[in-house]
Amino acid sequence: MTPFDYVRAGSMREAVELRSRSPNAAFLAGGTTLIDLMKGGVEKPSLLVDIRRVPDLDYIKVSSGKASLGALTKNSDLATDPALMKAAPMLTQAIAAGASPQIRNMATLGGNLLQRTRCPYFRNQAFACNKRSPGSGCAALTGYDRGHAVLEGSSQCVATHPSDLAVALVALGGEIQAEHISGQRNIPLSEFFRPPGETPWIETSLQRGALIVFVETDLPPEARRSVYLKVRDRASYEFALASAAVGLHQDGSRIIGARIALGGIATRPLRFATAEASLIGRTADEAAFRDAAAIALGEARPGRENGFKVELAKRTLVKALKLASELQQ
């Protein structure tokens, strides 16, 4: 591990000021991704700013139409919060589907959103990777791409985003509030995750050195009748091959509102507004769900070994919608 300095921040302002002193500094919260990457030499911060004792960043507030979630709230607390479970099951199910109980006890909301890809080439310095080393190339484009993206990949990167929670948050919508040395800024969740394009190492719209303070997620009528369904190679402690966060608002069997986001198949968590719109006014049945899935995956461009993900994602979405339609509103 590359040597680094360590400092503990006592407030949000102190945290961003400390981080602004070094261009290569990083915030330390749960550390469940960062420390692994530091041990592997992938991340080499010169300064760690420990934010774990910054007050007022660990809370869950659920009100009508919104939920405010502090950035230092543990994933284990989010996954088991009774009010959140009732208001937006897709959110708590997504968190519970991620990692292991031990990791969820350490990992935080802010860190979950900023976790790095699980592309094996990113974590292995023997291979070219534009995310790890800008301009070095992308080994996945000519290598083993079974776990990689079938949507939104670029000629520079085809890595998938690893977070389950982010898929549910993108489905629900809302915004992220961040503290920066120059002040506070709100970033819509729909604009937070960036497609790779020519700069895959820039993964979010967060300003360099900014600290996520809280996420304010919308709780539309579709949130109560919602599901997160994750398909993976083994039943626990594994990342998604395909996942779906869906919510339905129905008048009897007629759909009057829908939310759809998919994970595991694209370079960022993606919401599918056209597929959602295709469901409005239709009876909640398999034919409608299949049509929505065909629309959602219509632009898929698989690589050599991940073509199965297209059908897998469609089936995951259809199953998730079916499960949501069977819930009491």
310 sits near ligand SF4 (criterion: CB under 6 A): no
CA-wise closest residue to 253 among 322, 180, 184: 322
Output 119 or 321, the one with its CB closest to ligand SF4.
119
Q: Counting contacts by CB under 6 A, is residue 226 touching ligand SF4?
A: no
Q: Note whether 245 binds ligand SF4 by CB under 6 A.
A: no
Of the candidate residues 70, 96, 113, 121, the single one contacting ligand SF4 (CB under 6 A) = 121
Contact present, 147 and 118 (Cβ < 8 Å)? yes
**Is the CB of residue 31 less than 8 Å from the CB of residue 51?**
no
**DSSP states of 60-97:** EEEETTEEEEETT-BHHHHHH-HHHHHH-HHHHHHHHT
Considering beta carbons, is residue 25 or 139 the nearer one to ligand SF4? 139
Binding of ligand SF4 by 37 (CB under 6 A): no
Minimal distance, residue 322 CB to ligand SF4, in Å: 33
Residue by residue, DSSP assigns 274-288 as HHHHHHTTSBSSHHH
Phi-psi region of 135 (alpha: psi -120 to 50; beta: other; left: phi over 0): left
Residue number with CB closer to ligand SF4 (68 or 154): 154
Q: Which residue number, 105 or 133, has a Cβ lying nearer to ligand SF4? A: 133
Q: Between residues 67 and 119, which has the closer beta carbon with respect to ligand SF4?
A: 119
Stretch that binds ligand SF4, among 113-121, 225-233, 274-282, 303-311 (CB under 6 A): 113-121
3-class SS at 202? coil
Least gap, CB of 22 to ligand SF4 (angstroms):
25
Cα separations in angstroms, 319 against 104, 173, 271, 288? 26, 22, 17, 12
Site for ligand SF4 (CB under 6 A): how many residues? 14
Nearest Cα neighbor of 175 from 266, 69, 26 is 69
User: Angle 232-236-237 (CA atoms, 0-180°, nearest 5)?
Assistant: 95
Residue 71 interacts with ligand SF4 (CB under 6 A)? no
Asked if 200 is part of the footprint of ligand SF4 (rule: CB under 6 A), the reply reads yes
Please name the residue that has the structure tokens 């002040």.
Answer: 183
Backbone φ and ψ for 66, nearest 5 degrees, come out as -150, 155
**What separation in angstroms does the CA of 296 have from each of 148, 263, 328?**
17, 12, 25
Question: Of 37 and 211, which CB lies nearer to ligand SF4 in the complex structure?
Answer: 37
Q: Can residue 129 be called a binding residue for ligand SF4 (CB under 6 A)?
A: yes
Instruction: Please report whether residue 157 would count as binding ligand SF4 according to CB under 6 A.
Output: yes
Does position 130 interact with ligand SF4 (CB under 6 A)? The reply is yes
Specify the stretch interacting with ligand SF4 by CB under 6 A; choose among 25-33, 36-44, 152-160, 313-321: 152-160
**Interface ranges with ligand SF4 (CB under 6 A):** 117, 119, 121-122, 129-131, 138-140, 157-159, 200
